[in-house]
Structure formats: structure tokens, C-alpha cells
């Protein structure tokens, strides 16, 4: 394993322009869709799509909560208020809802129940009594407060016309006593028919999770040779500490391995199924249970990246442990329902890395250590020129060699960077742009 350090060298990028306060006046959904529309969706749709959040009074669109079906140009919106995924046509017509509260919809809307795989009205992602999968929620009413929100963006495969979406953790988060079983389809990646919502396949990364490790990290779709054969792959580094490689056509588990070194709860993955093998019961207790990784996970929502020349998956990784405690807090509408708490484990350091994972075997190929002590809210971006751009936890944008992690350039921006870098060409010049605080910074890339 190669360990690299942040040693400054001559910058290969220079700052092009800085714009400050009040730059972004349009709704976030509009801004993101303008970028998408540049790729072929009619500009006339901008106004109508931008009004979706106002037409649906309970809809809240979160940053990154959009995906586009490139065949139909339909837009998928993650609504964090209702824990649901909503599909709209480019003209703003409601087509499909998945998740909770989908009975609050317009006349004629197709509504999908993943458990029954029929187009019917349902109020929960979790399987209700009598439906396939309901045996994983054996207590009669545990599914009613079962969590499993779809709160981050999925991925769409235009070649196969398939939508892939990650599902959140079950509830209550830290007390699994009332929900014995695997709790389908929480902590899973789903392959869905984007027209009907019918379930094609699923893979559950963490059955019966009690550590807040969802599976909402954006599924990455990659076409690559895998162990000598061309495959259509789905890659995910999960909050539970494992990196997964799946066949995205069939859902078959191909390989997986830890991408953190300190993992207490599992000793490996079943070779055929990819199901975690329990080493130490991670279930919280009233006294407290030490579990690694922490509740925020070995990684979280900031986007990972794939670098085709090396066949490596690049991701932020956190080595940390927490103490998980359960309680019997009663359920109450409108309030969080955790039935427990978590806190840092005394004596266990928290360390953050950028790691490159070989997708053939899940092994760590190289890493950049000590990338800051604050939040890692930025995503990663690799480029054909061989760079990986990211923001460290100290408010600096960094360019590293995508083949080995060697730091090439960095610039402190003086504020937290909560978005992934983006690159574009304008008048023959390549730019990299990133937001920090309430400002946008653009840099030119010099050959």
C-alpha cells in the first residue's frame, strides 16, 4: 500500500474568478436541472419542473436528490419530507411515487408497492403482513414505524432501462428488539422498472441493522472487464464498512471486502451471497456497545468516483468507533424515533482517508491519509487527464494523481466545501468549479 502526504508543489491550476454572496438565486432543483438540460432535455421544461416543489406542498427537494431517465427524459426527485421518490415528466406531470405517504398523489398516478410488485397504493416501503418479505418484520406492527427512507439520489441505466436506488436503515435506529428479522428492504440496493416501480432484484447490505448504516450511497454503474469477462457492474462502498461489486443485470454478488481496517461487527462476507458474517453482535445495549465503524459510517453520502484506466473506485473512508446505547423511548408522531443514542468511543481515534479500491478484489490499492478533522461533505471527481479532485475537511480543494494519490496541488478556500467539484470546457479552456461557503470558485486547468 502506498501512503502519500500533502506536500505542496507548483500549482497546475490557477484561480479564474471568484463570485461572492447572493450568486445562487434560483431554487436548487432549477439549477441542477439547467445543468441536466444542457445534455438534451428541452429548455422549455425548466420553468414547469422548477415549480414542482411548490405544486407538491409536502415535497422537499434535497441537494443531490435528482436523477434523470435519459430515454424518457423523466425526472426522479427524492422527497425527504415524505421519504419517497417521485417521478415527473419534463412537463411537470406526476408519473410515479415510491416510498412513504404515496397515497397523497394526483388522480391517475401509477404507484408502486415493492413488496407485492404491483401498481397499487401503499404507505410504506416496508412489507406489510401477508406480503412477500413480511416475514422479515415478524412483529405485527413493527413495519409501521420501520423507517427505510429513500433519501438520496439513485442511478439510471439507459442501456437496460433500469433504475437503481439505495434504501435507508430501519427504525427505530438503535433498538431492534421490536423488529426481529432482516427488515426488508431496508439497507438495500433495489433494481426497479422505472415505468412501473416493479422490483427486479435487491441486495441487502446490512440485514437487521441497529447502527444507522443505510445503503443510500449513490450506486455507481460501471461497464468493465471483471475477472476476465465484460460485465455490467454496480459498485457501492457502504456505510457498514464493506465495498460491494454486483452484477447489475442479475443482482448477483461478485466480490466484496472491507475498505476500513477497524471493523468489530463482521468477519467477512458470505462468498456466494455477500451477506455479512457476524463476528461480534453489534446490537446496542442499555450499558452501551462499542462498534466500529461509527454511526455516520465508514463512508456516507458524498459521491465516490471511478477511474477507468486503473479500474479503481475512489471513496472517502472514516476509521472511527462509537458506543451505541438503546432505550425504550415511545413512538410519537412528528418526533425522531431512534430509541437510543451514540457517542464517541473513548480512546479510539477518528481518522479520515481518501482510498482507492481495486474493483477486481476489493483491496485497497493506495490511500491519502489525514485529510482533515472536520466534515467531509465534498464528493470526488476523476478526470481523463489523470486527476482526482476533492475537498478536504480543512476547506481546501485538492488535486491528486488519480493513479497513485500523490498530491499535486491544493488551494485553501476559507470555508466548508459541501459539494463535489465539477469540470467543464468553455472556449477551448477546461475549468474546475467548486462552491465554498456562499461563494463559487473556478480554476483553469493548464496542460
- Cβ 115 vs Cβ 123: under 8 Å: no
Which helix (H) or strand (E) element contains residue 434? strand 429-436
Domain ranges of the chain: 1-19+378-447, 51-370
- Cβ 49 vs Cβ 41: under 8 Å: no
Write down the mean pLDDT value for the chain. 79
What does the pLDDT read at residue 384? 93
Distance CA 202, CA 205 (A): 10
Q: Summarize pLDDT for 107-159 with one digit per residue, the tens.
A: 233 333 445 444 333 334 566 677 777 888 887 788 888 888 888 889 999 99
What does the pLDDT read at residue 313? 98
What does the pLDDT read at residue 153? 86
In DSSP notation, 288-335 reads: -EEESS-TT-SS-SS--EEETTTTEEEEEEEE--EEEEE--PPP-TTS
List the single range of 76-85, 107-116, 210-219, 243-252 with lowest mean pLDDT.
107-116
Q: Which three cell numbers stand for residue 277?
A: 458474517
Class (C level, CATH) for 51-370: mainly beta
Q: Which of 230, 228, 226, 278 is nearest to 253 (CA)?
A: 226
Which helix (H) or strand (E) element contains residue 162? strand 162-166
Q: What percent of the chain has pLDDT over 70?
A: 72
1-19+378-447: in CATH 2.160.10: no
Q: Summarize pLDDT for 163-215 with one digit per residue, the tens.
A: 999 999 999 999 999 899 999 999 999 999 999 889 999 999 999 999 999 99
Give counts: helices (H), strands (E), the chain: 3, 31
Q: Which three cell numbers stand for residue 355?
A: 482510498
Q: Is 212 a catalytic residue?
A: yes
What does the pLDDT read at residue 48? 35
Q: Which of 62, 215, 53 is nearest to 125 (CA)?
A: 215
What does the pLDDT read at residue 132? 74
Distance CA 392, CA 401 (A): 15
What does the pLDDT read at residue 355? 98
Q: Tell me: pLDDT of 320 over 50.
A: yes
Band (76; pLDDT cuts 50, 70, 90)? low
Q: Which three cell numbers stand for residue 297?
A: 459510517
**Cβ burial, residue 228 (10 Å; 0-12/13-18/19+):** exposed
Q: Which three cell numbers stand for residue 333?
A: 408522531
DSSP 72: T
Proportion of the chain in helix, strand, coil states, percent, rounded to 5: 5, 40, 55
What does the pLDDT read at residue 109? 34
Catalytically annotated residue among 212, 225, 247, 438: 212
- Cβ 68 vs Cβ 41: under 8 Å: yes
| Per-residue CA distances from 26 to 19, 54, 282, 373, 418 (Å) | 16, 13, 44, 32, 18
Q: Summarize pLDDT for 18-40 with one digit per residue, the tens.
A: 332 222 222 333 333 333 333 33
Amino acid at each position: 500500500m502506498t501512503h502519500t502526504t500533502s506536500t505542496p508543489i507548483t500549482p497546475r491550476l490557477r484561480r479564474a474568478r471568484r463570485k461572492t454572496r447572493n450568486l445562487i438565486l434560483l431554487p436548487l432543483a432549477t439549477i441542477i436541472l439547467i445543468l441536466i438540460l444542457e445534455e438534451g432535455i428541452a429548455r422549455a421544461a425548466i420553468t414547469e419542473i422548477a415549480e414542482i416543489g411548490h405544486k407538491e406542498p409536502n415535497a422537499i427537494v434535497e441537494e443531490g436528490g435528482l436523477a434523470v431517465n435519459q430515454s424518457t427524459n423523466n425526472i426522479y426527485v427524492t422527497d425527504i419530507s415524505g421519504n419517497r421518490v417521485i417521478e415527473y415528466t419534463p412537463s411537470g406531470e406526476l408519473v410515479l411515487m415510491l416510498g412513504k405517504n404515496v397515497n397523497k398523489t394526483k388522480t391517475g398516478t401509477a404507484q408502486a408497492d415493492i413488496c407485492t410488485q404491483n401498481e397499487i397504493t401503499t404507505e410504506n416501503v416496508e412489507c406489510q403482513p401477508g406480503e412477500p418479505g413480511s416475514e422479515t418484520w415478524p412483529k405485527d406492527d413493527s413495519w409501521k414505524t420501520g423507517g427505510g427512507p429513500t433519501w438520496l439520489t439513485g442511478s439510471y441505466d439507459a442501456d437496460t432501462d433500469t433504475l437503481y436506488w439505495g434504501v435507508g436503515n430501519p427504525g427505530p435506529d438503535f433498538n431492534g428488539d421490536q423488529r426481529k428479522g432482516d427488515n426488508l428492504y431496508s439497507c438495500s440496493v433495489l433494481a426497479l422498472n422505472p415505468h412501473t416501480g416493479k422490483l427486479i432484484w435487491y441486495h441487502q447490505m446490512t440485514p437487521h441493522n441497529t447502527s444507522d448504516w443505510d445503503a443510500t450511497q449513490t450506486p455507481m454503474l460501471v461497464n468493465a472487464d471483471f475477472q476476465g469477462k465484460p460485465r455490467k457492474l454496480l459498485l457501492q462502498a457502504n456505510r457498514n464498512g464493506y465495498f460491494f461489486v454486483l452484477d447489475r443485470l442479475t443482482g448477483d454478488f461478485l466480490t466484496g471486502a472491507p475498505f476500513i481496517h477497524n471493523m468489530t461487527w463482521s468477519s467477512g462476507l458470505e462468498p456466494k451471497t455477500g451477506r455479512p458474517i457476524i463476528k461480534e453482535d453489534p446490537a446496542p445495549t442499555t450499558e452501551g456497545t462499542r462498534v466500529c465503524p461509527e454511526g455516520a459510517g465508514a463512508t456516507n453520502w458524498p459521491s465516490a468516483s471511478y477511474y477507468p484506466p486503473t479500474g479503481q473506485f475512489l471513496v472517502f473512508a472514516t476509521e472511527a468507533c462509537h458506543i451505541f446505547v438503546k432505550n425504550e423511548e415511545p413512538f410519537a408522531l412528528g418526533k425522531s424515533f431512534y430509541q437510543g443514542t451514540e457517542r464517541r468511543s473513548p480512546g479510539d481515534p477518528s481518522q479520515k482517508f481518501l482510498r482507492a479500491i481495486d474493483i477486481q478484489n476489493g483491496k485497497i490499492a493506495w490511500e491519502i491519509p489525514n485529510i482533515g478533522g472536520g466534515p467531509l461533505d465534498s464528493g470526488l471527481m476523476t478526470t481523463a487527464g489523470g486527476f482526482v479532485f476533492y475537498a478536504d475537511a480543512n476547506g481546501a480543494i485538492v488535486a491528486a494523481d488519480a493513479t497513485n494519490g500523490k498530491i499535486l496541488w491544493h488551494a485553501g478556500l476559507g470555508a466548508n466545501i459541501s459539494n463535489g467539484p465539477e469540470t467543464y470546457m468553455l472556449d477551448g479552456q477546461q475549468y474546475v468549479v467548486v462552491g465554498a461557503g456562499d461563494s463559487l470558485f473556478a480554476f483553469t486547468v493548464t496542460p
